Amino acid sequence: MLRDDGMSYGDYVEQLTFLLFLKMADERTQPPYRQKSIVPAAYAWPTLVARDGDELFDHYRHVLEALGQQKGTLGLIFGKAQNKFQDPAKLRRVIVDLIDKENWSALGVDVKGDAYEGLLEKNAQDLKSGAGQYFTPRALIQAMVDCIAPKPNEYVCDPACGTGGFLFTAYSYVIAHHPNLTREQKQHLREDAFTGVELVQATARVCAMNLLLHGIGSETSVPVQVADALASDPGERYDVVLANPPFGKKSSTLIVGEDGRTTTEKEIIERDDFWATTSNKQLNFVQHIKTLLDIHGRAAVVVPDNVLFEGGAGETIRRKLLHECEVHTLLRLPTGLFYAQGVKANVLFFDKKPASETPWTKTLWIYDLRTNQHFTLKTDPLKREDLDEFVACYHPANRHARTPTWSTDTPEGRWRAYSYDELIARDKASLDIFWLRDDSLAESDNLPAPEVIAQEIVDDLEAALEQFRLIATDL
């Protein structure tokens, strides 16, 4: 119905978010809840249902504008909101026929949460919308959460939360694995356990709604902040950090001079809690996540290949990470998982430890899901069962009971361990390690798509340029 009104999928999701929030806020004022509404009466759901035609159109625009100026949850949901409907009759149909008929608060979390997730996935597939960069494949999220195994009383953070996939999956995991939660534990999960930080207002709004529909937060308090996570140390510490920070090589700002000429200035982030100063956003996120973790806290973070091999600040950060944290697992991901073309990524798992003179990392276990694996976003997407062997190898119940599948007798094994001494002796302490023979390289028919090869060349050249810059600054 909304697509007929000339809307993109992103607009479609956004308008539904505004209307659903108003309807659910109104439902909470009815029996059995009888809660005080945070939406001022002049802008509440009944004022939309009671209007028609141009009067409805004008009022809806006024509602969005007024609520966007409020603080707290209302400001988060409605900040900079705009009416994207072209036709008052279509707006009326959505309000009366689609949303008003249903008691959304009474619907099961899985029903409404899954429905909204389905919309977000469709929006991510609309490449023109650019929404794919905020969407991590749900099969990968589930496997990462299954490995980290969050517990009922823990605090969980995603400092680049996108549409909230890690947060609600962690919530669902705790609910599913701990059926006898106390009332206090349920309240903790709903109100305190989860924190998301998102740079983009429109994405944070969708994340807030996604969490609400999955049972996290309330109409008066949603655990999502609109902020630049890398700007400073927020002070809070967490038991678990799960993240897929945005891809994109460097942080930069476009400067327009008085003469109209534009130049690009790199954003070098300098923080006392960071091991190294760099404009590489992903390296900065790794450092930021280390800061966010409580002692013995656990992290699982998606990182592009350059984090594993880049010299200069990259080498410094890897050596520090291996020494000060227990970096115990690396999952090499296949290409074709993300909406950014040609991205080569990995999941790095590490635990923060107390200060020590001896390195905390003893053994890094690597699972190669990349070599001779082929996935695509639409025709052959990654499924949770594709990660079953990895999760079994990871051995969440007892990491110290792991056994390799690789040996000299089984050279096709994908699960292999490397000692700290082996890692630290490698050039630049590179963690970009592989041992399986890539069959596709022997057959020209199986070469990656041209745009993937082009992106790899760009990445390699940028890494080389970074090296030249470092050499130049030392001269």
Q: What is the CATH number of the domain that holds 256?
A: 3.40.50.150
Looking at the structure, tell me whether residues 124 and 205 fall in a common domain.
Answer: yes
**HSE-CB of 82 using CA atoms within 13 angstroms:** 8
What's the predicted TM-score (pTM) here?
Answer: 0.86
Three-state DSSP class for residue 195: strand
Looking at the structure, tell me whether residues 272 and 417 fall in a common domain.
Answer: yes
Residue ending a domain, choose from 50, 77, 106: 106
Residue ending a domain, choose from 90, 106, 122: 106
Q: Confidence class of residue 464 from pLDDT cuts 50, 70 and 90?
A: low
The tens digit of pLDDT for each residue in 51-75 reads 999 999 999 999 999 999 999 999 9
pLDDT (0 to 100) of residue 253: 42
Query: Over the Cα atoms of the chain, what is R_g?
Result: 24
135-144, 264-273, 345-354: range with lowest mean pLDDT: 264-273
Q: What average pLDDT does this structure show over 274-294?
A: 97
Looking at the structure, tell me whether residues 88 and 163 fall in a common domain.
Answer: no
pLDDT (0 to 100) of residue 249: 54
Looking at the structure, tell me whether residues 94 and 169 fall in a common domain.
Answer: no
Q: What secondary structure does DSSP assign to 235-275, as a single string?
A: S--EEEEEE-PPP-SB-EEEEE-TTS-EEEEE--B--TT-S
The CATH number that applies at residue 52 is 1.20.1260.30
Q: What average pLDDT does this structure show over 23-28?
A: 93
Looking at the structure, tell me whether residues 181 and 43 fall in a common domain.
Answer: no
pLDDT (0 to 100) of residue 443: 54
What is the average pLDDT value for the chain, to the nearest integer? 89
Looking at the structure, tell me whether residues 128 and 70 fall in a common domain.
Answer: no
Q: Quick one: tokens of 170?
A: 């962690």
Looking at the structure of the chain, the number of domains it has is: 2
Name the percent of the chain lying above pLDDT 70.
Answer: 87
Is residue 164's pLDDT more than 70?
A: yes
Question: What is the 8-class DSSP label of residue 113?
Answer: H
Task: Name the pairing type of β-strands 194-198 and 224-226.
Answer: parallel
Looking at the structure, tell me whether residues 298 and 429 fall in a common domain.
Answer: yes
Looking at the structure, tell me whether residues 144 and 102 fall in a common domain.
Answer: no
The tens digit of pLDDT for each residue in 119-135 reads 888 877 765 555 556 57
Contacts of 374 (CB under 8 A, 6+ apart): 334, 336, 380
Looking at the structure, tell me whether residues 88 and 208 fall in a common domain.
Answer: no
Looking at the structure, tell me whether residues 121 and 70 fall in a common domain.
Answer: no
Q: What average pLDDT does this structure show over 285-308?
A: 98
Residue ending a domain, choose from 106, 127, 145: 106
Looking at the structure, tell me whether residues 315 and 339 fall in a common domain.
Answer: yes
Full residue range of the structural domain in which residue 440 is found: 114-471
Looking at the structure, tell me whether residues 118 and 85 fall in a common domain.
Answer: no
91 vs 441 pLDDT, higher one: 91
pLDDT (0 to 100) of residue 444: 52
pLDDT (0 to 100) of residue 32: 87
377 vs 459 pLDDT, higher one: 377
CA angle 267, 270, 272 (to 5 degrees): 165
